Amino acid sequence: MVTRPVSAFSGFSGRRARFEHDRPDAATTRELLARLLRCARDEGLATATDLRQRLLLSGIDIDMPRLADARRFLDSGIALDAEAIKAGLTPDIGRFLLQILDGDLAIENFPVFENRIANIYAHAQAATGGEVASYIPELAKQDPDSFGLAVCSIDGQRMALGDAETPFCLQSVMKPLNYALALGLNGERFVHEHVGREPSGQGFNELTLNRDNRPHNPMINSGAIMCSAMIRPGRPVAERFDMLMRFWSSAIGSQACSFDEAVYNSERGTAERNFALAKLMESHDVFPEGSIVDRALDLYFRSCAISLDCRALSVAAATLANGGVCPLTGHRIAEPATVRNTLSLMLTCGMYDFSGEFAFVVGLPAKSGVSGGLMLVVPGVCGIGLWSPPLDRLGNPVRGLEFSRRLVEAFPFHIFAGTTDGPQ
Ligand code: GLN
């Protein structure tokens, strides 16, 4: 029911980002439109309204920028004939529609998928326990009952449940893109001269560094502060932050994201730990030459206060699932190698001191944050954004963990599912 692309072990065809290149069998425009018409007829789709309904049934977000040029056509109710299709659709959109009608989507049977996800959501909602983080005073105001969930597939199929449209501040969920941006700007070699790639085996804000006095990895506070130091260090903080916000915006489909100033001020005022971590790194002289550490910290605090809702977060996760190409716009926001590195570190270090356990049981790249946010990536299939503030003692959202465990029981999403015999 859920299509897994060819696994990384048996070939590479499924690894190419969707919608980046023409499909290999790209036909001439005329042939393409004729095939589209035939497919529509076979399915009994007589008008643009029928086609629109068909897209909705497949979970396709018909408001996505990728379909912008087809909106008028889809809303027109016009009869589907060769003339109308030719006049109303571009070849790229025609190809995408054909893919949908062929059933060649990341999630084949979307209504069934939606149902199962709703079921898992309900089970996760019943999970109790955990505490809302309070060490950043503004976070203590979060409602423990808030629970949002959204999914976006690599083809732009979307669903949302609960408080999926309530914005929350990302906190550590920003770390993967913070790292990806630092990589994109400086290259892997430079970045990893300054930050390691091993799990730390300790809390996210522990006062500790690795054997070389570098932060263990970019998914904990010290490593994220180090990555912030590598984002356009010579420029004013406002400009650097603007760049990071624009990066997030393109990852979520060219939508705006906001900044929660109250959280930023609240965190700045109570950030002794992070100041201490920065001092520790400074004392070992491991920041890149010319770094102004206070500015790197300021950029770090600001990034933790970027706020999004689950729907938007699921798109960022889907962009990573799609090798760096945003499924809603088709824009490449990061190189495949950057995405591979980011996902590797999310898999091994994204869930604090529970990362090994999470990789074992759930087997998906993920990143949690103290606001209760969780970004889950199912490579080649979809991205998931979740938000539920109560955290367990290691700092991971209780409902997020319950959801993730049940997700991989219901679907073969564990990245090593399918590499052993028999049903998973
Ligand atoms: N802003 C938080 C901090 O620095 C981020 C930590 C987190 O989400 N784990 O403490």
pLDDT digits (tens, 9 = 90+) for 309-337: 999 999 999 999 999 999 999 999 999 99
* Phi and psi at residue 281, to the nearest 5°: -65, -35
Six-digit token string for 36: 């589209």
pLDDT for 90-116, tens place per residue? 989 999 999 999 999 999 999 999 999
Residues pairing with 149 in the sheet: 161, 386
Provide the pLDDT for residue 181.
98
Six-digit token string for 392: 């367990």
Residue 413 has pLDDT above 50, yes or no: yes
Provide the pLDDT for residue 387.
98
Residue 12 has pLDDT above 50, yes or no: no
Measured in Å, residue 204 CA sits from the centre of ligand 1 at 7
pTM: 0.94
The answer to whether 157 and 176 have CB atoms below 8 angstroms apart is no
The band of 6, judged by pLDDT with boundaries at 50, 70 and 90, is very low
Pocket test of ligand 1: the residue of 135, 171, 225 to mutate, having most ligand atoms within 8 Å of its CB, is 171
Q: Tell me whether residue 352 is annotated as binding.
A: yes
DSSP codes, 286-325: -SPTT--HHHHHHHHHHHHTEEE-HHHHHHHHHHHHTTTB
**Separation CA 152–CA 315 (nearest Å):** 6
Atom of ligand 1 nearest to the CA of 172: 8
Measured in Å, residue 154 CA sits from the centre of ligand 1 at 29
Within 6 Å (CB) of ligand 1, which residues are found?
171-172, 204-205, 221, 267, 274, 304, 369-370, 395
The band of 30, judged by pLDDT with boundaries at 50, 70 and 90, is confident
The band of 22, judged by pLDDT with boundaries at 50, 70 and 90, is very low
Unique residue bearing structure tokens 């976070």: 139
Pocket test of ligand 1: the residue of 265, 299, 300, 370 to mutate, having most ligand atoms within 8 Å of its CB, is 370
Provide the pLDDT for residue 258.
95
CA 314 to chain centre: 5
Pocket test of ligand 1: the residue of 139, 205, 297, 313 to mutate, having most ligand atoms within 8 Å of its CB, is 205
3-state secondary structure of 74: helix
Provide the pLDDT for residue 422.
45
Provide the pLDDT for residue 194.
98
Q: Tell me whether residue 134 is annotated as binding.
A: no
Residue 190 has pLDDT above 80, yes or no: yes
Provide the pLDDT for residue 3.
46
Residue 419 has pLDDT above 70, yes or no: no
The band of 25, judged by pLDDT with boundaries at 50, 70 and 90, is low
DSSP codes, 111-138: HHHHHHHHHHHHHHHT----B---SSGG
Return the H-helix or E-strand segment holding 419.
Answer: none
Measured in Å, residue 335 CA sits from the centre of ligand 1 at 27
Provide the pLDDT for residue 401.
98
Measured in Å, residue 341 CA sits from the centre of ligand 1 at 21
Q: Tell me whether residue 172 is annotated as binding.
A: yes
pLDDT for 275-291, tens place per residue? 999 999 999 999 999 99
Can you tell me the mean pLDDT for 190-210?
Answer: 92
Atom of ligand 1 nearest to the CA of 204: 9
31 vs 380, residue with greater confidence: 380
Measured in Å, residue 79 CA sits from the centre of ligand 1 at 54
- Mean confidence (pLDDT) of the chain: 92
Measured in Å, residue 347 CA sits from the centre of ligand 1 at 18
Q: Tell me whether residue 179 is annotated as binding.
A: no
Six-digit token string for 331: 């824009």
206 vs 65, residue with greater confidence: 65
Atom of ligand 1 nearest to the CA of 135: 10
Return the H-helix or E-strand segment holding 382.
Answer: strand 382-387
The protein residue whose alpha carbon is closest to atom 4 in ligand 1 is 221
* Phi and psi at residue 356, to the nearest 5°: -65, -45
Provide the pLDDT for residue 19.
59
* Phi and psi at residue 373, to the nearest 5°: -80, 150
Provide the pLDDT for residue 176.
98
* Percent of the chain's residues with pLDDT above 70: 92
Can you tell me the mean pLDDT for 177-186?
Answer: 98
* Percent of the chain's residues with pLDDT above 90: 86
Provide the pLDDT for residue 333.
96
pLDDT for 381-396, tens place per residue? 999 999 999 999 999 9
Measured in Å, residue 178 CA sits from the centre of ligand 1 at 13
The band of 206, judged by pLDDT with boundaries at 50, 70 and 90, is confident
pLDDT for 160-178, tens place per residue? 999 999 999 999 999 999 9
